[in-house]
Copies of this chain bind each other. A is one copy, B any other.
Amino acid sequence: MLQKKPLILVTNDDGITAPGIRMLIRIMNEIGDVVVVAPDKPQSAMGHAITINDALYCDPIIIEKNALQKEYSCSGTPVDCVKMATRQILNRKPDLCVSGINHGSNSAINVIYSGTMSAAVEAGIEGIPAIGFSLLDYSIDANFEPATTYVKTIVENVLLNGLPKGVILNVNIPRLEKKEIKGIKICRQADAHWAEKFDKRTNPMGREYYWLSGEFINEDKGEDTDEWALQNGYISIVPTQFDLTAHYFIKELNNWTLHD
């Protein structure tokens, strides 16, 4: 299908040794020349954080013997990894950046907290076609096998069709056996949020501290949402953008009494 081997940058937010990225590397090795630049430790929920007040380390690392891919372990955030890859490590702009496969959902509002998706978004900002993949299973022994053919199909479509400037794909995969997955649905981001609770505790020195926890609340029942797709056995793809302007509200704002 493709004439020459594409250069594929692989990253994630669960860290370079996470089973999800190891699977993604294996799939990408079937498609292109793979370079991995990923965090040296878990960096979940880091959003679009970058490291501006600390030094960054980024070293070559061998995780698999006789591996096809080149790998670099980076002390920074997922977004740092993408910047480091494109500006320091790679000799040319990659043809694709894939991030994940994340252990856990990045559907709905989770896209904004997600290090996995922020890495893909950063690649998109740099003009690289990019996809974030997430499986709805947090566990270390999550089964990524049912997702593999779908991941390959989506990647091949992006390499073939390209993506418009400013658009990346947010792919979420339900925790199902392969035969239970009904297919792929193109969706919008569900209008859901977290209802946080803070678990208040006292440390051995007598000082109070808190753990963030919470419940995911989805009151958006739209059948065009990623949440609906995932709950109904589909893989969801949300085209995602980083122009955050609420264009529709500009006209209304111009009617406010903000001017002298």
Contact = CB atoms under 8 A, between A and B. Distances in A.
A46 interface: yes
Interface in A195-254: 195-198, 200-201, 203, 207-212, 237-247, 249-250, 253-254
B239 A209 contact: no
Interface residues of A, number: 80
A186 B245 CA distance: 11
Contacts of A250: 186-188, 239
B50 A87 contact: no
A258 B237 contact: yes
10 contacts: A46-B49, A47-B79, A49-B77, A59-B208, A79-B113, A83-B198, A188-B243, A188-B247, A239-B246, A239-B250
A109 B80 contact: no
Interface stretch (A31-39, A63-71, A161-169): A161-169
A260 B161 CA distance: 18
Interface string A125-158: 1100000000000000000000000000110010
Number of copies: 2
A197 B244 contact: no
B212 A51 contact: yes
A162 to B, nearest CB: 11
A16 interface: no
Given A198-B84, A237-B258, A246 B210 contact: no
B55 A210 contact: yes
Interface of A: 42, 44-53, 55-59, 77, 79-80, 83-84, 87-88, 109, 111-113, 118, 121, 125-126, 153-154, 157, 161, 164, 166-167, 170, 183-184, 186-189, 191, 193, 195-198, 200-201, 203, 207-212, 237-247, 249-250, 253-254, 256-260
Secondary structure of the A contact surface, majority rule: mixed
A111 B241 CA distance: 13
A211 to B, nearest CB: 6
A211 B87 contact: no
A242 B109 contact: yes
Contacts of A42: 53
A56 B209 contact: yes
Contact of A166 (B57, B112, B246): B246
B164 A249 contact: yes
A188 B211 CA distance: 37
